Structure 1
């Protein structure tokens, strides 16, 4: 069972219990003629899911397409590496053969022009590296914040399931002596909630761990390559100024390798940029029209039509239950052999927190001031309960058997506990916390998140292009300076 949707089955079962528990037990016990009362049943229908347009993180084709979107970086990196291998082999073969070619003399202006280009592209590379460092840091922060926002919403749902499980165990303890079937339903539901709660927690832990690893890995890769670039840029200038030809050749070789890595990271950062765009577009689409959103593949609750129908049926069930209880309370005075002004059942009314047809909206504040919560019903019934310690129940107007009273008390308290947790269950079924998290991401986080992702890719692309020109310029400069004598810190060679 997937962690994204597995917990809905036990929740549906739990809410159905509220419709089957009271009418068959307590209401039947309160009825003067003990007629059975039929309860409304809500069929457990599986939510039909469908994938949306382009963004579907559960589809392997999406991830394959995402990886392929960075192919421009991989291809250029491969071409650049092959060119480097070919150029290196050419230099090795050429230097292994004795050459009688004379040293070519260039005008002084060419040395100055070459050096000016090197300085210019070195500055560009340093500026681009600075932008990469800033964007990389911002991207790390934004990505972690977005991830934590989503995972925190999942953790909140998991905590709600845990608290619901505890309440179910309490209800099971109350009604187990009176209704083994409902107790068994609760036991099954509790085990399902526990299993799916652990599944969700495991999913969140793994996602948080693997997500953090991926985020940090990209951050460290960008940081490491950029710092290495900066070090090589400074080392190349120092080797040139202090005239260390071998060191310059080694640095050119390292720059060639680093430029290849730059292009690989350019492709990866482009994937990340596309992923950021896809996430924000999908979340915005979900906020505008949840039912047609591609996120339905991971959020079954996105189907608001099914959720509304289910909640209406649950509201109808409890509303009908409360109505019939109030009818029974009105009929109880006819059973009293001795009237007591304090036991005016015709005045007492149980609070029905659901509105009437057609929506059956949950609103606990709509109850009249004189209405009592269903959990307080045992207090009223205790006044007409014939306890074993009572001496003359008939003369005292006590007509409800003690066993029936305890049975009604158990189911009344159970019903009250279900009503108390109903708002949490509604929020869980409707994914309210998840929707709030998505809304927060769309309205507050998406714009800076997309911006930093774009800046990271653009700055890495600029750095890669700068390093290509700079590496070629250093190679050309090494060829230009070959066989010539230079004074320390001199740009122009010594003339003989």
Structure 2
């Protein structure tokens, strides 16, 4: 028996050392994969939240320009027909867009907090569990080699519990791997059909389509206004350069500022030209030759053209938003830069957890068998007395 005990002890030490090394390597893989997965997941969330906030800001800038146009239209009552109708349309549209912008921003902030909280909890719990598992494996091996039975048995139980946790986390990360794959598939489908997709609730392109008709209406208003101004300039002031019309002909009214001729004036530059034609001192009859505009009229035109230019400045962003191009670009970035790493690291974590769990089962079984045999050997050594047979034989001989 002593020879068997020594041989068994040696083999358990060698096997335990081998599986302990494997467990340490597996824990390292899990820690590395979990850290990278957490970073990639937060990068994806950051892109989505920034896109949502950017969409909200674009809408708010657009409604701000609309409100300025409304104010200038209200101040210009009596100068043209249809002002009340146009003003009412812009007012209702700006209010609707403001509500959508607030809803998008609220949803983005709420989702960001929930997702970040979930990712942080999962990352911390995983790190703590794997770190405890690493420490318990090493402690169990040390106490097993030193034959400190009470602590040895305690850490065997502790390792069984951690092994169960590793299996549970394996299931969680396997789910996340499948979820990441499904999400990336949904992103690809979103590129094809943004308005009928499970991701539409995050960045609702379908709701923003209501603003497309408004953009077209405002574009047509600006197009007609510029044509009217140019007609008046051609008839009354042929020496003044014409205003560049930034929109194409109906029915599309496409925004094409790059097609403006070099000898035309941009809408934002109209006040600079009119400034030269504005009377500097009306009270003293200070209008010089060629000056025909009063200072009040100049201020009115300046405010109106500035509000139109503010609208034109945000027009490309709003157009991109209603066409869902902003969202498509964000999702394209996720697909190109983050989808494959996200799936890779999720797979790395769950594969590492499977490996650690299997190694832990083998390691704990080895030490459990070793503890049981040690206990039997200890019981056998304590119950058998080497010289107990001699007195019994002498007693039998006397009888």
The two structures have a TM-score, normalised by structure 2, of: 0.78
**Residue 311 of structure 1, CA deviation:** 5.8
- How do 1:350-389 and structure 2 match up within 5 A? 350-357=243-250, 359-377=252-270, 379-380=273-274, 383=277, 389=283
Q: Is contact 1:382–1:405 with CA below 8 Å preserved after alignment? A: no
Corresponding residue number in structure 1 for 2:136? 232
- How do 1:262-273 and structure 2 match up within 5 A? 262-273=166-177
Corresponding residue number in structure 2 for 1:344? 238
Work out the CA distance in 2 between the residues paired with 1:405 and 1:232.
82
SS at match of 1:482: helix
Corresponding residue number in structure 1 for 2:40? 142
Return the structure number with greater helix share. 2
**Residue 324 of structure 1, CA deviation:** 3.5
**Residue 381 of structure 1, CA deviation:** 9.8
Corresponding residue number in structure 2 for 1:295? 199
Corresponding residue number in structure 2 for 1:125? 23
Work out the CA distance in 1 between the residues paired with 2:93 and 2:238.
39
Answer yes or no: is 1:470 the counterpart of 2:383.
Answer: no
Corresponding residue number in structure 1 for 2:179? 275
Q: Is contact 1:301–1:429 with CA below 8 Å preserved after alignment? A: yes
Work out the CA distance in 2 between the residues paired with 1:149 and 1:360.
32
Sort the Cα spacing of 1:156 and 1:285 in 2 relative to 1 into closer, same or farther, 3 A.
same
Work out the CA distance in 2 between the residues paired with 1:390 and 1:127.
92
1:452 alignment partner, one of 345, 351, 356: 345
Q: Over alpha carbons, which structure has the higher Rg?
A: 2
Q: Is contact 1:175–1:410 with CA below 8 Å preserved after alignment? A: no
Corresponding residue number in structure 1 for 2:164? 260
- How do 1:57-68 and structure 2 match up within 5 A? none
SS at match of 1:356: coil
For residues 232-286 of structure 1, give each alpha carbon's deviation from its aligned partner in whole angstroms, at most 9, with x where no partner exists: 1111111111111121211111112111111111111112111211222222333
Q: Is contact 1:329–1:349 with CA below 8 Å preserved after alignment? A: yes
SS at match of 1:457: helix
Corresponding residue number in structure 2 for 1:53? none
For residues 101-135 of structure 1, give each alpha carbon's deviation from its aligned partner in whole angstroms, at most 9, with x where no partner exists: xx999565444444443333222222111100111
**Residue 459 of structure 1, CA deviation:** 0.6
Q: Is contact 2:104–2:203 with CA below 8 Å preserved after alignment? A: no
For residues 298-349 of structure 1, give each alpha carbon's deviation from its aligned partner in whole angstroms, at most 9, with x where no partner exists: 4432799988777666544543443343334334x3xxxxxxxxx326x642
1:482 alignment partner, one of 368, 371, 375: 375
Corresponding residue number in structure 2 for 1:216? 120
Work out the CA distance in 2 between the residues paired with 1:289 and 1:204.
22
Work out the CA distance in 1 between the residues paired with 2:72 and 2:149.
88
Question: Structure 2: which 5+ runs fail to align?
Answer: 78-82, 380-384, 387-399
Work out the CA distance in 2 between the residues paired with 1:221 and 1:142.
18
For residues 177-211 of structure 1, give each alpha carbon's deviation from its aligned partner in whole angstroms, at most 9, with x where no partner exists: 33484566655555555554444333333322222
Question: Structure 1: which 5+ runs fail to align?
Answer: 1-102, 334-342, 487-494
- How do 1:315-354 and structure 2 match up within 5 A? 315-331=219-235, 333=236, 343-344=237-238, 348-354=241-247
Sort the Cα spacing of 1:299 and 1:183 in 2 relative to 1 into closer, same or farther, 3 A.
same
Work out the CA distance in 2 between the residues paired with 1:358 and 1:164.
22
SS at match of 1:369: coil
Corresponding residue number in structure 1 for 2:111? 207
Work out the CA distance in 1 between the residues paired with 2:176 and 2:164.
19
Work out the CA distance in 1 between the residues paired with 2:222 and 2:94.
21
